[in-house]
Amino acid sequence: MWEPPSIEHEILGTEVCLCFPEATFIRGFDVDETIQPDIEMYRNDEIFYIEIDTGKVPYARQKVRWAKYENYEGVLLIVTSSQIRLNGLIQGADAINEIALFTTFEELFGEPRGEIWQNTKGYVVVPDSLVTHNDGESWLYSFVEGHGLCPPDELPPFRSEYVKQIQKPQQIKNTIANIRAYIAKIESIEGKNGSAGLVRAAAKCRDAGLNESETTIELLHWNRGSTVNPPWSEPEIARAVTRVFGVHNHAKRT
């Protein structure tokens, strides 16, 4: 049975719809009764299902929600509250791994209004999107002159030499467990240069081989421990991770 969403959820859904003035939408009890997406969007002869995530629903409950998309063959767009929340949703997105694209309300509502979507493996950038990278540089993405979208059957065959084989570190679970125990001892106390502790914990995760998403998850776990007082907010943790990885990537390039 369709359940009426909260007022906040409905307002955010309306703002998302306003980002696509050329599209038409179905909402409420008229949507697909099997999957029950928050919004059905019809745009350029394509159908998109949209999920609005306010960040207040537990991850475990969202995983149950994603299971309804098991037989869905279209594109699922998920708009959520923050980059940290987005990273957490991706961790539990196995059921929608092949169909889902994620973004945040901030990205979607930003000016200029670029449509930037992240899948479980990286970023999908729609032409004419303006993207600001970790080094502060902004890039405007567009089609090469004379080129554009083409049907899948007109694409050239994929060449295996384009793929570089990467050796994954062994015993990654033990690595994460060890780094969690290590950073649990790092203090971040207000009045005692607490920000240095946050940056140090993020750097230790990075140096242990964790990526930005894994580092964020470990910092959220560390943030609940007794060595952190008061706890950091999610935006503060996200900025620390971006800063630590941005400095590291810049150093590798120079």
Helix 83-91, helix 234-253: angle, nearest 10? 80
Q: What was the pLDDT predicted at 78?
A: 94
User: What average pLDDT score do residues 50-78 get?
Assistant: 89
Q: Which of 50, 87, 52 is nearest to 218 (CA)?
A: 87
pLDDT value for 139: 61
Predicted local distance difference test score (pLDDT) of residue 254:
43
Q: How far is CA 186 from CA 83, 202, 220, 223, 238, in A?
A: 24, 11, 13, 10, 18
pLDDT in tens, 108-117: 887 545 557 8
Alpha-carbon gap, residue 161 to 144, rounded angstroms: 23
Q: Where are the domains of the chain?
A: 7-144, 172-243
State what percent of residues in the chain have pLDDT above 70.
72
| Mean pLDDT value across the chain | 80
Taking domain 7-144, whether its CATH number is 3.30.160 is answered by no
Burial class of residue 236 in the structure, from the number of CB atoms within 10 Å of its CB (0-12 exposed, 13-18 middle, 19+ buried): middle
**Residue 252 in this model has a pLDDT that exceeds 80:** no
Secondary structure element (H or E) that encloses residue 43, with its range: strand 39-43
DSSP at 48: E
Greater confidence, 177 or 226?
A: 226
Would the pLDDT of 1 be above 50? no
pLDDT single digits (tens) 82-103 = 989 998 998 888 889 888 989 9
CA angle 172-95-90, nearest 5°? 55
- What is the mean pLDDT of the segment spanning 19-23? 87
CB within 8 Å of 130: residues ≥ 6 apart? 112, 114, 138, 139, 140, 141
Whether the per-residue pLDDT at 221 is higher than 70: the answer is: yes
Structural contact between residues 17 and 39, judged by C-beta atoms closer than 8 angstroms = yes
Query: Is the predicted pLDDT of residue 2 greater than 70, yes or no?
Result: no
* C-alpha 102, offset from chain centre: 5
Is the alpha carbon torsion for 244, 250, 253, 254 positive or negative? negative
Closest to 48 in 3D by CA, of 58, 57, 56, 38: 38
